[in-house]
Structure 1
Amino acid sequence: MKKYFLILLLIGCFASAQAKSDWKARWINTERCQSAANTWLAYRKTVDIEKVPQTLTAHIAADSKYWLWINGKLVVFEGGLKRGPSLYDTYYDSVEIAPYLTAGENTIAVLVWHFGKSGFSHVNSGLAALLFEAIAPGVEIVSDASWFCSLYDAYQNTEAPFPNYRLPESNIRFDARMELTGWNQPGYKGRMGVAVVISEVGVAPLGKLVERPIPLFKDYGLKPYVDVRKSAAGDTLYCRLPYNCQVTPYLKVEAPAGKTVHILTDNYEGGSANNVRAEYITRDGVQEYESYGWMNGHEMRYILPEGVKVLDVKFRETGYNTEFTGSFQCNDPFMNELWKRSARTLYITMRDSYMDCPDRERAQWWGDEVNELGEAFYALSPSSHKMALKGIHELMNWQREDGVIFAPSPAGNWRKELPLQMLASVGWYGFYTQYYYSGDSSFVAGIYDRLHRYLHQVWQVDKSGLAIERDGDWSWGDWGEDIDMGVLTNCWYYLALKAEKAFALQLGKTADAEDISRMMYSIEKCFDTKFWTGTAYRSPGYKGETDDRAQAMAVVSGLASADKYPALVKVLKKEYHASPYMEKYVLEALFQMNEPAFALERTRQRYAKMIDQYPDCTTLFEGWGIGPDGFGGGTTNHAWSGGPLTLLSQKVCGIEPTSPGFRSFKVCPQMGTLTEASATVDTHYGKIQVSLNRKGSKIRMTLSVPAGTTAEVPVSKGKVKRLEAGEHTLTISSRTL
């Protein structure tokens, strides 16, 4: 069994991106390097190039991050990805560098930050090193013993408090008295150590190299803060950011040597645990510094000692390279603000991977990712689709030898399974949604066998065919109380089987598809017998209040028949137990039961505190409020809370694909009490745009259908209009929707 598992691991490891094996470069560092936590290394190489090639791709890897300058120009701001594509391997970047080179002498400079410790989003290799390779006819630049490399001693550890154990990043202290001024510029005359070859490529501890499957991060450049104010004592600058974002702080000061400036954000204790912070120790005179470890929040704070004169402060936003090309607008300002905050929450929880929050954990919890990947199709440009694809491969490549899958992964200090989150991940709202909405099925063959193993060896069914509850390592269905795990388990398992069946048919595995169909049929036939009470769904022996989540999942899974909808709507008008994570499915169930007016009303009830009581916050919370209402530590920027973004575009404006990748789609709006609404969805074919104006039971629709696609619009009872590419204006009846 172990041999079988290892074969699957190796297959999956390289399914997400092309693995490069023909390396001429070697891993290098310096003799002084002990690969301790928070190690910084400065590398430098001068090369003569007779003729610059038209194209020259540099392949660059490091554990953990790097910054690249060529001829004094910053080419990559924070390259590298947290490890790893599998337990043993490392990502590398491909960077086009020809535009930065000149005929004659060229200077390559690289700064490497070695985290040196594991976390919920990173597994430490234990080796601080750089790999650099750029080869073209007449040009060969490879990392070897001809490079220079020095420990950058100006970068140091701070004293306590430190970031909490979930984060692999350390606080950064920079002592400018030890700065290697100009080390990354042409003509540097200072002394640097000689590089040493520390490892070949493809062996432990850095393993095989897999090409980065997502774009390099977007650098928005240094910008002034929205507002800067001083504390009453004059010792702190409070610098307002335009919204909650991922930033690195910059300062220019005049000071005597040895003064310490403390830098942190208002989210330093986001989610009740320490995030990262920075310290800058001055040298004598005028000086500039940017701390390269990103932080997040609405406000940057510079705490200044006496004698430090601030000449300038700025910030650099960086993040996942995508655009906000999706949109939603309606005549209700509350819903507009909720969509906007959902989109901002989505973006700040994207970087190396999807994450639950950018402060407490920065970890790829897949319950969060399921909601996030669905939102990305409605809010962002198609470049965002690569993020979930990376996550799918990582989740399955980290499968344990016992067949269990777990999140967050990659992770160096976590291996616990949350069973219901894993069912959600591999199922209809997770893996299948990623395939169907993107049109990209490339991942299916590589993960199918491991998915099948998880669903049919790890999970078991009873004699009636219903899924048997599993505690796993953490029996978690949602934050909050009154969680009916029996009903939820069977709904999530059914949806996982539904996705697996679709994948089996895709791959021509007809025997698997037939077996899965029989299993689904058994659940369909026995579900009501075990769980339906006549007024609601409840597990035998469950003692809590009727669970709104369980009713919703019965609806969206398709296990609840339409004749039960009136009773279920009554339950959802009474019971309010779900956290923002599961509320998305409650609201979706209401739309599915043709209750758009109440879906919007419940949305307002649930999100009113977040939106109305915190007008300066641009992101959504982990729970329904802050503090006691926060759930799980209560971050103010939590990935799973943005479910309404999907529903406002997908259900209110009605835009849903009817074939993979939106090659065909339907527009079936459920406007509820709204009179105006519009949405844009950016697909690989172009932008779908719809504008709606409702008067009574009539909706005036303007629709833009991208070239190469078709749309279906129900115009009256029993009549669907098929629209080809172009601009269309038509009137439909809301009573038929």
Structure 2
Amino acid sequence: MLKKTLTALFLMFISIAQGQEISINSSLLTGSWAANWITHPAAAQRAYGVYHFRKHFELSQLPASFIVQVSADNRYRLFVNGAAVCSGPARGDLFNWYFETIDLAPYLKVGKNTIAALVWNMGELAPVAQISNQTGFLLQGNTAKEAIVNTNSSWLVLQNKAYSPTSLDNRERLQAYMVVGPGDQVDGKQYPWGWEKNGYDDQAWLAAKPISDSVPIGYGTDNLWTMAPRTIPLFKESMTRFPSIRRTNGISVPDGFLSGKMPFLIPAHQSLKVLFDHQVACVAYPELLLSAGKGAKIKLTYAEALFDQDRQKGNRNEIEGKEILGNYDVFIADGGQERLFRPLWWRAYRYVEMEISTRDEPLLVHDFYGQSTGYPLTLKASFESSDPSLKKIWETGWRTAALCAGELYYDTPYYEQLQYTGDSRIQALISLYLSGDDRLMRKAITDFYHSRTPEGLTQGRYPSNRLQIIPTFSLFWVSMVHDYWMHRKDDAFVKQFLPAIAEIMSWYENRIQKDKGMLGPMKWWNFVDWDNFNDWGVAPGAEQGNSSIISLQCAYTMKQAATLFNAFGKKDDAEALFAAANELNYGTYQRCFNAEKGLIADTPEKLSYSQHAGIWAVLSGAVRQDAARNLMSKLLHTSGIGQVTFFYRFYLVQAMKRAGMANQYMEQLEPWRHMLDMGLTTFAEKPEPTRSDCHAWSASPNYDFLATICGIMPAAPGFRKVNIAPALGSLSWIKASMPHPNGMIYLELQKTQQGKGIKGKIELPEKLSGTFYWEGMEIELHEGKQVIQL
């Protein structure tokens, strides 16, 4: 049992550490650990470097369990007796440095055992998502039984000089923002092959240097890292092979190579390029198995798509006249047998070009494949309809969401691997609706909570080693907390965020110009959407004051915050926020609505108009329900106004639903059909030309198929009740299932009477009731099976 003195924060950590399904010794959360953080005694501590740590110990009998906590800065990969065990840590910050809890018993044997860890620090070249203090490794036994492996000076360490950073010019070569860190160049002749195995000779290795105590949150002084339990599951790996080779120059590659059954030989003093096509985008550790070929250079270049001479991607399936540009790794063979090259970090790719140049010795290439990895989202939902083309959108959207889910909700796995609030809100709803898994959503909400600045705003992306504040994204964070509250009964988790929400709302309240009832000049980067406004996506009026878009988004969010405060007994705060929201709605409508055009202008000067302003006018309630439909019709059919890109199409659909236009949703799927026609296998960041081919905010149709077409929405906080208001549009029938905290929701519906009626079946899980809506009619729903006939 935990001591009563544990803080609420510790209780939260204990409850959500269930993601690892192994119990943490409670004493490790209430004071200093016995293990030390250790490092290399002579290496520069904040510079680029790759290190190996080893520890030998004897066992007279096999234990039933052997649980340890493990972490590192920047990253680690843990081995026991040569077998890979896990990787980590999940990214956080120095105040919340995560550790994994692992049972090593399945990897142990009677007699001599070796625990080994590959640890690396990318230094100043680290990904922007990587926060760091200095090179370090930590392993702590769960109880006295495992204390024999605690990190201290009895561990040995070696700096691996085979590694050097490469692929440092991608930002220039791709002419795009790319901040995922360098590629790896590995010189095989300097690599300590077999370093992780039991019989390796480590007599020349140095004793590791202890550098810091290890302590959990709430304890310690002069902490370099403050430890917190990992709150998401460990990631597994599974082999993924390339289905095809699209082109070669030089030596032909045998057909059996792709299946791992037939190696091929490259003679001495030869060059070869092979373009592998995975056919769909993936996230994986590429693994290349080689023999001989001393001095041969192998370069692996990874890309989402190829580029033509004008640097355009075009149809992603077409390769003629196109070249590969992107992140790459380099391996220089040492001539040994069955050398396995694998980069330190996974790569995102559809295409991989293998470029080989041999020297005085032929090179034998045994195999090349990937080990796919990522957050273990499990698809539990299903959707079928009378339109078979929706199946491809559903499958592609799920792939997009899955590849953008790791230890964070990545905006894009190829270019950034950063967690942005605007992206994460949409990604979290997809996770809830399709997998029922809320753990990564909880981590994202908590990460942004930890990112808060002295002004009270959250950072726009986090974890991040560079400061970025997007005030509109702080509003999305509040919406994300509200979403969680509506979909999960978890009051203790939500309640802790109320003070932070109050600070964000106060920041905005202080910027309301009382004489105008709109927000005044705004600081920081007031991003709204790409392809509109200016090159940075900043809303008109944001910097000078009186942006209708931000004023109305603020009103929408204030109402959500007020609902939360009201639910948790903060009645006065709720009333004040409702009043502020109404003030913003009234002032913005009065100054920005153009009656002649029937549109909301971006600013009171009425020089520009956008779908974005109208969307927030509808969602915030600035326009009456009876006027919302007319406004939305104008937004959908008026040319010459700012158009939403894929990010804001999520909010366009929400506004259509609020205006009673959900039946027109099917008409909004053309951008996704176009992406599929262009050969994309994941959905892109924005319309062509796009930087990222995999951007999870564009997977919103997967949520909308269930929340809009099927019309499944929570009708009470914690999803205690459900509303089902199907909007089939041009579809004649739908069949779907969706995870709910109590079980699964099933529905099967078909139009009747030329689309005016509906019939079918609905099944709700235990203890769930709700209401079914169709064309102004209602049916009360109860747990279990029921027949619908209207």
Q: Same fold (TM over 0.5)?
A: yes
**Aligned counterpart, 1:611:** 676
1:720-735 counterparts in 2 under 5 A? Answer: 720-724=779-783, 726-732=784-790
Write the deviation string for residues 665-718 of structure 1: whole angstroms up to 9, x where unpaired.
122100011112222212332221222222322222222212232242236744
| SS of corresponding position for 2:773 | strand
**Aligned counterpart, 1:210:** 228
**Aligned counterpart, 1:256:** 293
**Aligned counterpart, 1:595:** 661
Do residues 318 (structure 1) and 381 (structure 2) align? no
1:277 to 292, 311, 328: 328
**Aligned counterpart, 2:316:** none
Do residues 424 (structure 1) and 476 (structure 2) align? yes
One-letter identity of the residue aligned with 1:589:
A
**Aligned counterpart, 1:182:** 194
Q: 2-side partners of 1:223 and 1:345: how far apart?
A: 17
Bigger mean CA offset, 681-690 vs 588-597: 588-597
Cα deviation, residue 56, structure 1: 3.3
| SS of corresponding position for 1:17 | helix
CA contact (8 A) 1:69 1:108 kept: yes
| SS of corresponding position for 2:751 | strand
CA contact (8 A) 2:78 2:85 kept: yes
Bigger mean CA offset, 642-651 vs 561-570: 561-570
Cα deviation, residue 592, structure 1: 2.7
**Aligned counterpart, 2:487:** 437
Do residues 64 (structure 1) and 77 (structure 2) align? no
Q: 1-side partners of 2:371 and 2:508: how far apart?
A: 46
Write the deviation string for residues 181-229 of structure 1: whole angstroms up to 9, x where unpaired.
2221122234322212122224556321111121112322x33322234
**Aligned counterpart, 1:25:** 35
1:143-292 counterparts in 2 under 5 A? Answer: 143-158=151-166, 160-161=168-169, 167=179, 169-191=181-203, 192-202=205-215, 206-220=224-238, 222-234=239-251, 235-241=272-278, 243-267=280-304, 276-289=327-340, 290-292=342-344
1:509 and 1:565, CA in 2 relative to 1: closer, same or farther beyond 3 A? closer
| SS of corresponding position for 1:138 | helix
Do residues 390 (structure 1) and 443 (structure 2) align? yes
CA contact (8 A) 1:70 1:101 kept: yes
CA contact (8 A) 1:12 1:446 kept: no
One-letter identity of the residue aligned with 1:720:
I
Bigger mean CA offset, 317-326 vs 415-424: 415-424
**Aligned counterpart, 1:496:** 557
CA contact (8 A) 2:303 2:326 kept: no
Write the deviation string for residues 613-672 of structure 1: whole angstroms up to 9, x where unpaired.
x23x211111112x2xx3xxx211112212222212101011111233433212210001
Write the deviation string for residues 524-577 of structure 1: whole angstroms up to 9, x where unpaired.
544432333231222554445431122122222333212213421133222461
**Aligned counterpart, 1:97:** 104
CA contact (8 A) 2:32 2:214 kept: no
Write the deviation string for residues 568-627 of structure 1: whole angstroms up to 9, x where unpaired.
1133222461111112211222233232343211322x3342122x23x211111112x2
Q: 2-side partners of 1:204 and 1:269: how far apart?
A: 50
| SS of corresponding position for 1:403 | coil
Cα deviation, residue 261, structure 1: 0.5
**Aligned counterpart, 1:621:** 684
1:544 and 1:226, CA in 2 relative to 1: closer, same or farther beyond 3 A? farther
2:703 to 636, 646, 661: 646
CA RMSD of aligned residues (A): 2.8
**Aligned counterpart, 1:546:** 609
One-letter identity of the residue aligned with 1:571:
L
Structure 2: segments with no counterpart, 5+ residues: 1-6, 15-28, 216-220, 252-271, 313-323, 534-538, 542-546
Cα deviation, residue 495, structure 1: 2.2
Q: 2-side partners of 1:260 and 1:713: how far apart?
A: 64
CA contact (8 A) 2:380 2:738 kept: yes
Cα deviation, residue 274, structure 1: 8.1
Q: 2-side partners of 1:595 and 1:679: how far apart?
A: 21
CA contact (8 A) 1:275 1:359 kept: no
1:116 and 1:442, CA in 2 relative to 1: closer, same or farther beyond 3 A? farther
Cα deviation, residue 37, structure 1: 4.0
TM-score normalised to the size of structure 2? 0.83
1:504 and 1:269, CA in 2 relative to 1: closer, same or farther beyond 3 A? farther
1:512 to 569, 573, 581: 573
Q: 2-side partners of 1:674 and 1:211: how far apart?
A: 47
CA contact (8 A) 2:300 2:352 kept: yes
Q: 1-side partners of 2:393 and 2:279: how far apart?
A: 17
Q: 2-side partners of 1:188 and 1:47: how far apart?
A: 14
Do residues 44 (structure 1) and 54 (structure 2) align? yes
Bigger mean CA offset, 344-353 vs 507-516: 507-516
CA contact (8 A) 1:83 1:89 kept: yes
One-letter identity of the residue aligned with 2:637:
K
Write the deviation string for residues 496-515 of structure 1: whole angstroms up to 9, x where unpaired.
21222222233322221222
**Aligned counterpart, 1:476:** 527
**Aligned counterpart, 1:74:** 84
Bigger mean CA offset, 676-685 vs 358-367: 676-685
CA contact (8 A) 1:46 1:106 kept: yes
CA contact (8 A) 2:180 2:417 kept: no
Q: 2-side partners of 1:507 and 1:597: how far apart?
A: 36
CA contact (8 A) 1:705 1:711 kept: no
Of structures 1 and 2, the one scoring higher in RCO (CA 8 A, sep 6+) is 1
1:682 and 1:185, CA in 2 relative to 1: closer, same or farther beyond 3 A? same
Structure 1: segments with no counterpart, 5+ residues: 1-10, 733-737
Cα deviation, residue 51, structure 1: 4.5
1:682 to 735, 739, 749: 739
| SS of corresponding position for 2:275 | strand
**Aligned counterpart, 2:4:** none
CA contact (8 A) 2:708 2:727 kept: yes
1:122 to 130, 150, 155: 130
| Identity, % of aligned positions | 21
Do residues 560 (structure 1) and 623 (structure 2) align? yes
**Aligned counterpart, 1:352:** 407
- Count the aligned residue pairs: 703
| SS of corresponding position for 1:156 | strand
| SS of corresponding position for 2:446 | helix
CA contact (8 A) 1:12 1:393 kept: no
1:661 and 1:336, CA in 2 relative to 1: closer, same or farther beyond 3 A? farther
Write the deviation string for residues 395-452 of structure 1: whole angstroms up to 9, x where unpaired.
2222112323221122112x2322222212223xx22112222333333232221221
| SS of corresponding position for 1:350 | coil
Do residues 308 (structure 1) and 363 (structure 2) align? yes
Q: 1-side partners of 2:407 and 2:71: how far apart?
A: 14
Q: 2-side partners of 1:16 and 1:638: how far apart?
A: 31
Q: 1-side partners of 2:593 and 2:187: how far apart?
A: 66
| SS of corresponding position for 2:706 | helix
One-letter identity of the residue aligned with 1:440:
D
